[in-house]
Amino acid sequence: MKVHEYQAKQLLAQYGVPVPRGSVAKTAAEAKKIAADIGGKVVVKAQVHAGGRGKAGGIKVVSSPEEAEKAAGEMIGSMLVTHQTSAEGALVNAVLVEEAIDVERELYLGIVIDGVIGMPVVMASEAGGMDIEEVARTSPDKIFKTYIDPGVGVHAFRARGISFDLNLEQAQRRAATETITNLYKLFEAKDCSLAEINPLVITTDGRVLAADAKLNFDDNAAFRQKDIEELRDTAQEDPLEVEAKGKGIENYIKLDGNIGCLVNGAGLAMAVLDLLKLAGGNAANFLDIGTINDVERVIQAIEIINSDPDVKAIFINIFGGMARTDVIAQGIVEAHQRMEIKSPVVVRLAGTNVDEGDRILKESGLNLIRAYSFKEAAEKAVAAA
Amino acid sequence: MSILVDKDTRLLVQGITGGEGSFHTRRCVAYGTNVVAGVTPGKGGTDLDGIPVYNTVDRAVAEMKANASIIFVPAPFAADSILEAADAGIPLIVCITEGIPTMDMVMVSRHLKYMDVRLIGPNCPGLLSAGKCKVGIMSGDIFLEGNVGVVSRSGTLTYEAVNQLTEQRIGQSTCVGLGGDPIIGTVFIDVLEMFEKDPQTEAVVMIGEIGGVQEQRAAEFIKGHMTKPVVAFIAGASAPPGRRMGHAGAIITGSSGRAQDKIAALEAAGVTISTSPAEIGTTMKKVLAANN
């Protein structure tokens, strides 16, 4: 899960990471008032869940409260298109108004979990303010990696080592060391999957500040991070994906083809996309219904696929293990009773309780396109779309 | 032979009285697995179809001599269950549970580093030695006893692959589902090494997917250490880039998470690639014919 920059900065501030003075505005008038309170030059930053805002006109430096009001008025309510958004862009509902800072140096500081090593890793670089993936690709030697043992946290010597990696002067080393330690505390306490400060700025007056920040959170830990869940902004997400999530279907991703897919398991769902492509078709979505043995969830998954106007055929491919094919079959039957399903439905069931699942479908008398092998099923789905 | 589980496996089920736990315990028993005990805190002294239930893993191990454990405990408590099994001295722990917070698994994997324990999963379908023992949730009836080892990061795609092998009358030795989480206890290399040493296994099917670098590491291992033929399929070649792989997560691996990079690495190691997920069985048939 992602949050806005202003929300990330509030969390950073709570954990003792210094951020520029500023506040979030939902209206142009609020932006004017915040700018007046700060005084002098301020930055108005569009709040969307995407990077690349600067080039897209989503970040403006202004010199008066009136100009802040005007910039905020233009941004709020508009769609901001960056290289990371869809073609329609992302809706701007709020702006962050902050003091403009005089930058001496721009650094990079980020924490992720390295799955291979099985530990969190702090990444630091003097090449801040740029696309860090580009830095990693072109000059990986410019990124310093420091692994953190979660049992003990960030040792002082490790944080200090990072501050030496970054060639910081003695006056800034202490502040940087605290920032690194505190960012890690936040990362661990809030179950982040990414905590990134880019750029971490050294100002001309010697302060160390998080000029931009990005926090992503582990969805698996949502049950124990209720306060983070409250920061969710569904306006930044695909409406069908939001609807799916509301119905307890976490693993739904809208794609640009016309075959609606209902599959169990992420690997098999990916293989279905691959196989449809090989058969000359294209999936309208990725949907992993998981191991849910609940007829209602099956019906809701079908409802989401059925409500997608792009869908011309529905492809249900279930290989039961934990998931039981009889439950899926029952869901297919009840979905047909509850709603009008506009597209042809191709069903392939295999695995746990498949005899019972086949019996339920056969006895329902529904006009389904049945398939028994994986390849045959995909070809029938492509033909039906 | 076979690897990891066989007729000598004495299985303990953690979370045996829950819905999934009891359903799959019965299916493991039906397959022939020797399920010796279950654990559900607070349900000690009861039983499931005559299988004794204990409050703690310690008691279950002391009284029933369990030497493997399968975990169905809900995600918020699953990491603790893994540690409880490890602490009780169980050498093989299979965690089926999906949705465990990554930070919990960071703690678990640090802890297990200092113990002589093999963890399979989490978020995995478990494992099965055909005709001998099932410690997982795969549908047992798709398996056929034979000589091909199967190792996979996916769950249901594994069933698909096994089903295709069986349709071609190619039997399996052991099938291991590694799990789809960022941090897992056992990776491709571990299982490939076991298959290479296992006299029953003659060839291996390996199913990978986009993200991470485990397939590339496996390719290096295969190049240097495997004499048995390997057939591989990598899922996600058509997945849109950037949707599922997090921003900075890709930094560590550069662009190596892409399917084409994994396929190239495996091909360079002499692995036969099945380009379609529907042709894993037929590809293996051709490879076996060419090797005989």
Nearest to B238 by CA among B270, B216, B206, B260: B260
Same domain, A174 and A107: yes
CB A319 within 8 A of CB B162: no
Residues of B in contact with A351 (CB under 8 A): 138-139, 142, 156, 159, 163
Return phi, psi of residue A353, to 5°. Answer: 60, 35
CB interface of A with B, residues 83-122, below 8 Å = 110, 112-116, 118-121
Question: Who contacts A272 (Cβ-Cβ below 8 Å, separation ≥6)?
Answer: A261, A263, A283, A315, A317, A378, B277
pLDDT in the model for residue B254: 52
CATH number of A378's domain = 3.40.50.261
The share of chain B scoring above pLDDT 70, in percent, equals: 95
Predicted confidence at residue B250, as pLDDT, reads 42
CB contact under 8 A, B98 and A291: yes
CB distance A374–B180 less than 8 Å?
A: no
Q: Are residues A73 and A182 in the same domain?
A: no
Chain-chain contact of A274 with B238 (C-beta, under 8 angstroms): yes
Give the CATH number of the domain where residue A145 resides: 3.30.470.20
Do A182 and A153 lie in one domain? The reply is yes
In this structure, the strands spanning B10-14 and B68-71 are parallel
Residues A191 and A107 in one domain: yes
Is position A169 within any domain? yes
Q: For A261-281, how does the pLDDT look when each residue is reduced to its tens digit (9 = 90+)? A: 999 888 899 999 999 999 999
Q: Least CA distance to A216: which residue of chain B?
A: B246
Q: Which helix (H) or strand (E) holds A269?
A: helix A266-278
pLDDT band at A249 (very low <50, low <70, confident <90, very high): confident
Q: Whole-number mean pLDDT of chain B?
A: 92
Question: Which residues, other chains included, contact A337 with Cβ-Cβ below 8 Å and sequence gap of 6+?
Answer: none
Q: Is B241 on the interface with A (CB under 8 A)?
A: no
**CB proximity under 8 Å: A 48-77 to B:** 51
CA distance B173 to B238: 31
- Tens digit of each residue's pLDDT (9 = 90 or more) over A209-225: 999 999 999 989 999 99
Query: From start to end of chain B, where are the E strands?
Result: 10-14, 34-39, 47-48, 51-54, 68-71, 92-95, 118-120, 126-129, 133-136, 145-152, 172-177, 203-209, 230-235, 272-273
- A266 contacts B180? CB cut-off 8 A: yes
**Band (B247; pLDDT cuts 50, 70, 90):** very low
A128 CB near a chain B CB, below 8 Å? Answer: no
Q: Which of B26, B95, B106, B183 to mutate to test the interface with A (most CBs of A within 10 A)?
A: B106
- The answer to whether B97 contacts chain A (CB < 8 Å) is no
A313, pLDDT greater than 50: yes
In order of A281, A285, A287, B111, B260, the CA distances from A240 in angstroms are 21, 10, 11, 41, 30
> Does any CB of chain B come closer than 8 Å to the CB of residue A130?
no
Task: Check CB contact under 8 Å for A264 and B277.
Answer: no
Least confident window among A21-30, A174-183, A232-241, B60-69? A232-241
Range of lowest pLDDT (A286-300, B44-58, B61-75): A286-300
Indicate the residue of B103, B110, B156 with minimum beta-carbon distance to A191: B103
Q: pLDDT, tens digit, for every residue of A35-87?
A: 999 999 999 999 999 888 988 899 999 999 999 999 999 999 999 998 878 77
Q: Which residues of B touch A215 (CB under 8 A)?
A: none
Are both A149 and A38 inside the same structural domain? no
- B251 has a pLDDT exceeding 60: no
Which positions of B are annotated as active-site residues? 247
Domain closes at, from A204, A237, A270: A237
Interface predicted TM-score of the whole assembly (ipTM), two decimals: 0.87
Note which residues in 29-68 of chain B have CB less than 8 A from chain A.
none
| Confidence band for B102, pLDDT divided at 50, 70 and 90 | very high
The reply to whether A94 and A107 lie within a common domain is: no
B210/A375 Cβ within 8 A: no
User: Which range of residues forms the domain containing residue A71?
Assistant: 21-100
Q: What residue in B sits closest to A135 (Cα-Cα)?
A: B251
Which pLDDT belongs to residue A210?
Answer: 97
The predicted model gives B157-172 an average pLDDT of 95
**Gap between the Cα atoms of A376 and B8, Å rounded:** 40
- Of the residues A100, A130, A157, the one at which a domain ends: A100
Tell whether A13 and A55 lie within a shared domain. Answer: no
A242 assigned to some structural domain: no
**B residues 105-164 lying closer than 8 A (beta carbon) to A:** 105-107, 109-110, 125, 136-139, 142, 152-160, 163-164
Indicate whether A368 and A300 sit together in one domain.
yes
The verdict on a CB contact (< 8 Å) between A321 and B277 is no
* Judgement on whether residues A197 and A120 belong to the same structural domain of the protein: yes
Shared domain for A290 and A357, answered yes or no, is yes
Tell whether the model's pLDDT for residue B246 goes beyond 50. no
Q: Say if residue A142 is in the same domain as residue A256.
A: no
Going by pLDDT thresholds of 50, 70 and 90, the confidence category of residue A191 is very high
Residue A48 belongs to a domain: yes
3-state helix, strand, coil in chain B (%, to 5): 35, 20, 40
Distances (CA, A) of A355 to A146, A320, A324, A350, B169: 54, 11, 11, 9, 21
Average pLDDT for A151-163: 91
Residue positions of A annotated with a catalytic role: 108, 196
Number of domains chain A is built from: 3
Indicate whether B164 pLDDT > 70.
yes
Are A14 and A157 in a shared domain?
Answer: yes
Share above pLDDT 70 across residues of chain A, in percent, rounded to a whole number: 99
Residue A335 has pLDDT above 70, yes or no: yes
Which domains does chain B possess?
A: 10-120 (3.40.50.720), 126-291 (3.40.50.261)
Tens of pLDDT, residue by residue over B187-232, are 999 999 999 999 999 999 999 988 888 999 999 999 999 999 999 9
Q: What is the pLDDT of residue B241?
A: 65
Which of A237, A263, A289 is at the close of a domain?
A237
Average pLDDT score over residue span A23-40: 96
